Amino acid sequence: MNQPYAQIPPTTHTSTLAIISLVGGITGWTILPGVGAVVAVVTGHIAQNEIKKSGGMITGKGMATAGLILGYLSLGLGFCAFCVVLVSNILGFTFLSIPFLSPFLSTSAPTF
C-alpha cells in the first residue's frame, strides 16, 4: 500500500547577471561604449563564479561568456583607438589633413 513518492527534478534558472552581462556587451557596441563594456566585464565574471558555485542549479554560462567577449573586445579596441589618436597627436598628425574627412571635421563655420 505504501507507494514511493516520485522524485521532483530540481529546477534551474538562468543567472540574471549573465543576462545583464550580455546586454551590457551589446550596449557597449551600440549606445554606451565605455559604460556598457565595463558592466559586461564585471557582471560576466560575477555570473561565471555564481554559475560555477551553484552546482548546476543556475545556467547562463554561454551568455556570461558572450558578454565578457563583447566587453573585452570593446574595451580593447577603444584603448587601441585612444592610443592611435594620442600617438598621432604627439607626432603632429591631425585628422583634418585627410582630404575626405576635412569637410566633416572642419572647425570653421561654412562660408556661403
pLDDT above 70 (res 77): yes
Q: Would residue 78 count as lying in a domain?
A: yes
- Rounded to the nearest integer, the mean pLDDT of the chain is 85
C-alpha distances in Å from residue 60, one per residue of 28, 55, 105: 20, 13, 44
| Total domains in the fold of the chain | 1
Q: Would residue 61 count as lying in a domain?
A: yes
Between CA 96 and CA 2 the distance in angstroms is 86
Q: Would residue 110 count as lying in a domain?
A: no
Q: Which pLDDT score, from 0 to 100, does residue 56 have?
A: 87
pLDDT above 60 (res 14): yes
Q: Would residue 4 count as lying in a domain?
A: no
Identity of residue 37:
A
> Residue 111 in 3-state DSSP?
coil
Q: Would residue 74 count as lying in a domain?
A: yes
CB 24: neighbour CB atoms within 10 A?
26
Q: Would residue 7 count as lying in a domain?
A: no
Q: Would residue 6 count as lying in a domain?
A: no
pLDDT above 60 (res 69): yes
The domain in which residue 27 lies consists of: 13-105
Q: Would residue 100 count as lying in a domain?
A: yes
